[in-house]
Amino acid sequence: MIGRMRFLAPVFVVLVALPAQTVREPGVTLRSGCPVDAPGVAELAAGTPVKVRFALASEGRDCFAVSVEVDGARQTGYLLAQHLEGLEAFEQARRAAPPISLPVVIRGGNLAAPPARPQAQPRQPGRPQPSVQPAPQFSFASLDDPGRTHTNDSLRGTTYLIDFWAIWCGPCRSEMPNLHRAYEKYKHRDFQILSLSFDKSPQEVTRYRQGRWKMPWLHGYVDGGFENDAARRFGVSGIPTPILVDPWGRMIARGSLLRGSYLDHTLDRALNGR
């Protein structure tokens, strides 16, 4: 993630020991709970092995309970997904029968307090979930049709992926193959993508789309980037920041589970009501 450095249903997997990888970047603070503005338990130096215990929903971010040995004693606490490696293996393990073991490591960076978010309730087939955080209000002029504006209301009834991105963001460009595959696979199932650019001007996006990646979905321009009111309401502190919104306008996933190989699996679950 570039910039200022995020499913939501609880996931529990029992793990047994496997050799852990090591921290490759500067250490982070192990917290006593989620959200991660909870008191610190220990400072974890680069090279510290960490094992995931389980994942859970917390305040709109992927939060993982982990265990780690500090000064000869086993400590437990919480870290964000962005500070861990091996999450693809964790997702595979989540769908398998426990007990399963996984090596994960801390990925460096500063922890930041996430925006407030209520716990999601279990999905009831055929009915909207009773208590899920709605997407903040937004309104962005279309980059393709000057007379059109993309808003919560204009997209209601559709499952859509809001993708905060920029051409100058390498990780954003790396997601282009995944986004194009997902769009082609699901576009006939009431699925849409709204890419919101942090670039210097809308014209840069227009020129970029004349190249290899046509991005044949909806587009808007985020004037002011991270300081934009809508970006602030969505809690965007780094890009790419993908956020999945259901037909009732509620945020049902964001961050790492909407990137890379996770994207197709997450969309399949959302669109099939699983």
What are the extents of the domains in the chain?
2-106, 139-271
Min mean pLDDT across 97-111, 170-184, 225-239 is at: 97-111
Burial level of 152, CB count in 10 A (0-12/13-18/19+)?
Answer: middle
* Own/partner pairs, 148-154, CB within 8 angstroms, 24+ separation: 150/194, 150/218, 150/220, 152/249
Residue 90 contacts by C-beta under 8 Å, 6 or more apart in sequence?
13, 52, 55, 102, 104
Min mean pLDDT across 73-82, 185-194, 258-267 is at: 73-82
Min mean pLDDT across 29-33, 112-116, 241-245 is at: 112-116
pLDDT at 110: 33
Express each pLDDT in 96-134 by its tens digit.
Answer: 434 333 333 444 333 333 333 334 444 444 444 434 689
Q: Which of 90 and 169 is assigned the larger pLDDT?
A: 169
Domain 139-271 has CATH 3.40.30.10: yes
Give dist(CA 173, CA 192) in Å, integer.
19
The alpha carbon of residue 209 and the mean position of all alpha carbons in its chain are separated, in whole angstroms, by 24
* Torsion sign across C-alpha atoms 236, 258, 31, 21: negative
Residue 115 contacts by C-beta under 8 Å, 6 or more apart in sequence?
59, 60, 235
> What band does 92 get if pLDDT is binned at 50, 70 and 90?
low
This prediction's pTM: 0.56
Looking at residue 226, its amino acid is F
Q: Compute the mean pLDDT over every residue in the chain, rounded to the nearest whole number.
A: 75
Q: Which of 7 and 198 is assigned the larger pLDDT?
A: 198
Min mean pLDDT across 61-65, 196-200, 235-239 is at: 61-65
